[in-house]
Amino acid sequence: MARDRPVVLTIAGSDSGGGAGVQVDLETITVLGGHGASVITALTAQNTQGVKGVEPVSLDFLEEQLEAILEDMEVAAAKTGMLWDGGVIRKVAEKLRRYEVPHLVLDPVTVAKGGERLLKEEAQEVLLKELFPLAEVVTPNVPEAKALAGFEVRSQEAMVEAASRIKALGPKAVLIKGGHLEGEPVDLLHDEEGPLWLRGERLGPGEVHGTGCAFAAALATMLAKGLPLREAALRAKAFISEGIRRAKRPGKGRAAVDPFAWVEGEAERYRVIEALREAYGVLCQREVGWLMPEVGSNLVYALPGARSQDEVAGFEGRIVRFRRGVARVGDVAFGASQHMASVVLEVMAHEPSLRSAMNIRFSEEVLQRAQRAGLRMASFSRQEEPKEVREREGATLPWGVREALKGRAGWPLHVPSPP
């Protein structure tokens, strides 16, 4: 039996290099569970180093594409990217009105990352008049917000004012992407409820191609699946952050956003959870209760490249001694252990391949057995812990791991922490 997926229509230019435009839109829509349909407004000859040429499609053929999709499919959401000129904009607006497409995400693309124009200057007024009133949300970056609002956008306060002015031009909401600003990269969604800040961190290998396209496509797909705008924006932000962090480099120029990083990330999370469950099964087959500390133990496993405790899985409620063996209080979950997560994150900062850690009971017998087993060991003394570390909650273990690893040629697999 055929499955139904929400149809998401991208109306944009074709990027022959595959890093942006219709190509990255369709990848994004697919990995997020939509069915991607496309209307191509222009062909571009481009690669990771820039746009070499633009060949707009005729208005007649543009109309044929729009009619072919809209008369046959129930489009749940649409997004626009490169529209090129006023004629294209008018035709797109006409069809979207006629077929009453419910959600429109308008990415006001004006120039490529290399500076090449993707919208004729005289077409901006047509864009404002024809498409802005149809848009559920407009997603300009900072330079585009400057052009639309009519003033420099150099701060978060200016973002709020710019979003308010752009919203007054007709769309229901405005989402300004703040990655061009210095400091913390933060996006702003301004809707009927007011401003919502979408905070992030600097990710990826510098400038990344295709981020605006993929973000708008992700937002459209989330809306097509029935999510309210604010939740859709938060999920689209998480999606694009992962795509930037794991950006790919297909050519000699800019890196490109990778929509499949989301899928790979979800698959890796599943592998980590299953590996921990399997490891717990191994512990249950042995009488290792004597190794459990009185406070209980936790076994954690981090995602590749983990940077936060939410990317480290462990056992909810810890692992405790039960008779001669062990029992777990809860199941495996990401973010379940703060203390051991902080340990493994600190170790990964020194050696990324060491992604798992477990705390066990401290005793001379344990140390002797570890030594006989051939484990390399390192230690730290809490008597040497600086006052500022001791007074900061959760700082002791990361400090201790750093101390234990100082000046060591090899990576220890056993770090005893004396009480």
Domain assignment of residue 91, given as a range? 7-258
State the average pLDDT for the chain: 91
The edge-to-edge listing of strands for the beta sheet with 75-80 is 50-56, 35-47, 7-15, 75-80, 104-106, 137-138, 174-176, 186-191, 194-199
Q: Would the pLDDT of 416 be above 90? A: no
The CATH number of the domain holding residue 156 is: 3.40.1190.20
The number of domains in the chain is: 2
- As a whole number, mean pLDDT of residues 103-110 equals 93
pLDDT in tens, 367-395: 999 889 888 888 888 888 898 888 888 88
Out of 231-240, 269-278, 332-341, 363-372, pick the least confident. Answer: 363-372
pLDDT in tens, 134-162: 999 999 999 999 989 999 999 999 999 99
| Beta-sheet pairing, 299-302 with 312-315 | antiparallel
Q: Does 152 lie in the same domain as 27?
A: yes
- The one-letter amino acid code at 408 reads R
Q: Does 316 lie in the same domain as 251?
A: no
Q: Does 180 lie in the same domain as 88?
A: yes
| Beta-sheet pairing, 255-256 with 299-302 | unpaired
Q: Would the pLDDT of 410 be above 70? A: no
Q: Does 269 lie in the same domain as 240?
A: no
Q: Does 252 lie in the same domain as 341?
A: no
The edge-to-edge listing of strands for the beta sheet with 312-315 is 332-334, 312-315, 299-302, 356-358
The CATH number of the domain holding residue 351 is: 3.40.225.10
Q: Does 282 lie in the same domain as 191?
A: no
Q: Would the pLDDT of 123 be above 90? A: no
2 part of a folded domain:
no
Residue 181 pLDDT: 81
* Integer angstrom CA distances of residue 245 from 12, 200, 208, 215: 25, 11, 10, 14
- The one-letter amino acid code at 386 reads P
* Integer angstrom CA distances of residue 264 from 18, 44, 259, 261: 19, 29, 9, 5
How sure is the predictor about 120, in pLDDT bands with cuts at 50, 70 and 90? confident
Q: Does 233 lie in the same domain as 281?
A: no
192 part of a folded domain:
yes
Q: Does 319 lie in the same domain as 207?
A: no
